Amino acid sequence: MRYFNYLTNEEEQNFFYSLPIQFNNYADKEVIAHAIGAALYMPATKDNIADDLVTGKHEGLVSMVIDLEDAVGDNQLEFAEETLKATLIKIGRYISIGLLRADNVPLMFIRVRSVEQLKRLLSFFGEEIEYVTGIVFPKFNVETGREYLRLLHEYNKNKRATSSTLYGMPILESSDVIYREKRVETLMGISELLNEYKAYVLNVRIGATDFSSLFGLRRSPDHTIYDIGVIRDCIADIVNIFGRMDNHYVISGPVWEYFKSDRVFKPQLRQTPFEESMGRHGRILRMDYINKYVDGLIREVAMDKENGIIGKTIIHPTHIKPVQSMLVVTHEEYMDALHIMENEQGDLGVMKSRYSNKMNEFKPHMTWAKRILFRSDIYGVLNENQNFTCLLAEERESAIV
């Protein structure tokens, strides 16, 4: 698997200064954790997932979560589990007969609804679990979380030596996390628990929809999740505890719910980046994204990044490319990161950047630089004359200059 592997050689040369690397289930844990990116949710009752992978229905799809929780009715649970197993078996069969390349299978996760279900699935699945990268734990807390992680540890301890590691991704979305009087104690308890099993924890994910429901709130398509004060404050505390560089976890942003709606406020996408990259075609593309209400999503991903959050849960295929494009490292970011790393010996403390528009302080910015270079490997680096908009076009040939 590689980000933007659908581009032609000409497009790659036009868009990228440095191409993304290849990765799969067997890659280093930190690579997988950062590479999850836009994780597309699908109900486990969907029976054509394997066929969609063969046809490449969702261009650019790199990670997906097959949901056994909210997306499945209680009366459909057994059917959903059987369908999920059939999906994984079908993926294996398509790989064996050459219809699907193993390298093109996205990172796949299963969101379970209970400890009992996870226990059942781990015994229910056979070799087909090899195609699963990890398990998503909803409404994560210390009590149920300990059981989830214990089961994960037992599976990994007893799996075949040639099998890939099965990882876990807790979702923070319960009242004990969002209610102020319980938040710090709860988050510290979860942190201590995750540290015991850190080798198996890929992401800490934020469930802002469940948080919002506890207050009867829902952000409009004109606003980001950071405009809702009570959610913003909680996200800040989550980043404060799980984003510290001395005990860092990759934190993934909450879902953007909209793909069509009515507008109240002005669009949130500036025209200039689109025009600079694609001229007239860029203006058309910008209006297309505004009409689809993806401009709010792009704004929210930008805010996620500013707060140290990488990746996002998505519920619609049209969100794949906007999220992924925003995670690509710009040429300016890359040059700044290299500049800082090249001066880590301590001969200088501060210097004007190579773009001559900022000061790079070598000690304070060192951790930032390392994170940028790590992300550049996974998502690539854009050419100097390009920005994220070049990766959004449906008709990309019109973007090539």
Q: Domains in the chain, start-ordered, CATH in brackets? A: 21-259+294-327 (3.20.20.60)
Q: What Å distances lie between residue 182 and 185, 241, 305, CA to CA?
A: 6, 14, 27
pLDDT at 296 (0 to 100): 85
Specify the residue for token string 């200039």. Answer: 272
Q: What is the pLDDT of residues 4-16, one digit of tens each?
A: 999 999 999 999 9
pLDDT at 254 (0 to 100): 94
- From the number of C-beta atoms within 10 Å of its C-beta (0-12, 13-18, 19+), residue 115 rates as middle
Q: Give the per-residue SS3 of the chain.
A: CCCCCCCCHHHHHHHEEECCCCCCCCCCHHHHHHHCCEEEEEECCCCCHHHHHHHCCCCCCCEEEEECCCCCCHHHHHHHHHHHHHHHHHHHHHHHCCCCCHHHCCEEEEECCCHHHHHHHHHHCCHHHHHCCEEEECCCCHHHHHHHHHHHHHHHHHCCCCCCCCEEEEEECCHHHHCHHHHHHHHHHHHHHHHHCHHHECEEEECHHHHHHCCCCCCCCCCCHHHCHHHHHHHHHHHHHHCCCCCCCEEEEEEECCCCCCCCCCCCCCCHHHHHHHCHHHHHHHHHHHHCCCHHHHHHHHHHHHCCCCCEEECCHHHHHHHHHHHCECHHHHHHHHHHHHCCCCCCCEEECCCCCCEEECCCCHHHHHHHHHHHHHHCEECCCCCHHHHCCCCHHHHCC
**pTM across the whole model:** 0.89
pLDDT at 129 (0 to 100): 92
pLDDT at 392 (0 to 100): 82
- List Cβ neighbours of 154 (8 Å cut-off, separation of 6 or more): none
Q: Which residues of the chain, if any, have pLDDT below 70?
A: 260-293, 346-347, 393-401
| Amino acid at the residue 137 | F
First and final CA of the chain: distance in angstroms? 28
